[in-house]
Chain A
Amino acid sequence: MAKKSKGRQRITMAKMENESNLQVTFSKRRSGLFKKASELNTLCGADIAVVVFSPGGKVYSFGHPNVENVLNRFKNINQPPLNQNNNVRFNEARPNDAIRVMNDFLTQVMNDLELAKKKNEELKKIRKNSKMPVNWWEDPVEELDLAHAKEFKGLLEKLKSYVTDEASKHFQAIFPQPNFYGGSSSGAPFRDGGYINPNLDPSERRMFNVNAYYNQNMYPPNYPLPYGNNNYAGGFVPEYSLNYMHGFNQYRNQNQNLNFKEEGISENECHQDGLPPHI
């Protein structure tokens, strides 16, 4: 893939020539300047105001405690001070509680974001490394020919049907029906959790440890959220543990050293011994 941009470049300290670059630069740097101002206030308790006019003439401003307050104090500096209390207020310079809580929360979100991005990189790397040219179905859809596309579609539809079947069993576990999970009748489908891949020696079949795979990794903030940002805590997508991925790759690289479960245990994982509640 060709490099998308030239990266960081040294820039001459003069008005930018390219109009659209200028707009983009303005937007980014203005935002960065506000961020720096915000941090200066948080870290050092200084009052600050930043006023910026855009190339188009709009005004952006940031200030703590607010823009007008700081501006007015600046203006009044030139006049004999009517109230001498300008410096007294720095006993209260510490950011108030609401801001502190918000900053803590912001830090947490930024950490989560960083983690998520890292995982993103790793997942993409895994895909790249595990791609085997011989597996044509792992190629992007755009590269498939008609026959392959149709074939793959059929296969996926079948897989989907198994998935929905399996999912419906979970549903039925909540509303159990008598005798659904009969005993050990050999005719029952999915009984041995089984799939028999002729490519694999049956003794090498690997059963996933479901718990290792599905790692519910929610980050509830442990302090009250001032803005009740429930969407974040509740809606944050549980992350799939990378433990799964590592095990997966281990398996691919060395077919020995497999960690597979006994048939008996896998049965339990595959369907609960769901007898209806004893009435």
Chain B
Amino acid sequence: MTRNRVKMAYIENETSRKATFRKRKGGIMKKALELSTLCDVPIAVIVQSEYNSVPEVFPPSRQAMGNVVARWDSLPLVDKTKKMMNQEQFIQQRITKATESCKKVAKENKELAMKEVMYDCLRGDTAPCDLGEDELRDLGGVIDQYIKGLNRRIQVLMRDHASSSTSVVPDADVATSVAMPTAEMGSSSNVKDFDLNQTQSE
């Protein structure tokens, strides 16, 4: 997206800093104008820099600026401070939001990964004994979640069956030749319990 990712820290290089200031200040004024126009709201921006003894402001007209400031002044302190922020507070807020977002995505990633592991187990590509303690715990959680979902689905389907006039006999003979999950994890003697690839006629 950007050509060069700028590090969010004070720019030591004098020339760069001045150039950056000029560009970004211009950008802020433009954005302020857009916000003010699109949403039809009063806005004031005041910038005080080392490059100009006079503050640079938006809106540029003295009268418009005066109006906004007057409106601000007329407010009780309570209203002013309710949504007032300085740098420390603002950055902290951003940190908090980003952290929460991050945790949420990480959690979803874990679930997605565990789901793959679950499918792996069913396919026989791996087994619980291959997994570490934490993975087992997470896998258990994902399986439980999935079972809950299945229960809900079963409930819904049973309700629908009950309400429909024809009684449907669930197809118990899953003798289709399509692949079946094989939850492999025991010694060979247990395999038959799981192996649905054989027909159910046994």
Contacts and interface: CB of A to CB of B under 8 A. Distances in A.
Nearest to B91: A102
Query: Is the contact region of chain A dominated by helix, strand, or loop, or is it mixed?
Result: helix
Nearest to B160: A146
Contacts of A189: 186-187
Contact of B46 (A41, A48, A52, A208): A48
A45 interface: yes
Contact of A43 (B20, B71, B157, B184): B20
A110 B153 contact: no
A30 B35 CA distance: 7
Contacts of A181: none
Given A40-B25, A62-B86, A106 B95 contact: yes
9 contacts: A22-B38, A58-B79, A59-B82, A74-B46, A95-B87, A112-B102, A134-B179, A164-B140, A194-B186
A86 interface: yes
Given A214-B135, A232-B99, A251-B125, A198 B195 contact: yes
B157 A46 contact: no
Interface string B166-202: 0010111010001101111111100101111100000
Interface string A125-164: 0110010101111100110111101111101111110111
Contacts of A93: 50
B105 A113 contact: yes
Contact of B147 (A22, A126, A157, A237): A157
A165 B53 CA distance: 74
Given A16-B38, A61-B83, A237 B103 contact: yes
Contacts of A227: 92, 95
Question: Chain B, interface size: which category?
Answer: 35 or more
User: Which of A47, A158, A166, A229 has the most chain B CB atoms closer than 10 A to its own CB?
Assistant: A166
B44 to A, nearest CB: 5
Given A99-B91, A162-B185, A116 B105 contact: yes
Interface in A27-70: 29-30, 32-55, 58-67, 70
A235 interface: yes
Nearest to A34: B90
Nearest to A40: B24
A159 B136 contact: no
A199 B197 contact: yes
Nearest to A231: B99
A39 B28 CA distance: 10
B118 A159 contact: yes
A13 B108 CA distance: 39
Interface string B56-67: 010000000000
Interface in B68-122: 68-69, 71-72, 75, 79-80, 82-88, 90-92, 94-95, 98-99, 101-103, 105-110, 112-116, 118-122
B120 to A, nearest CB: 7
A10 interface: no
Contacts of A45: 10, 17, 49-50
Nearest to A48: B47
Given A106-B91, A195-B186, A33 B32 contact: yes
B40 A55 contact: yes
B53 A59 contact: no
Given A106-B95, A141-B149, A46 B170 contact: no
Contacts of B45: 37, 48-51
Contacts of A132: 179
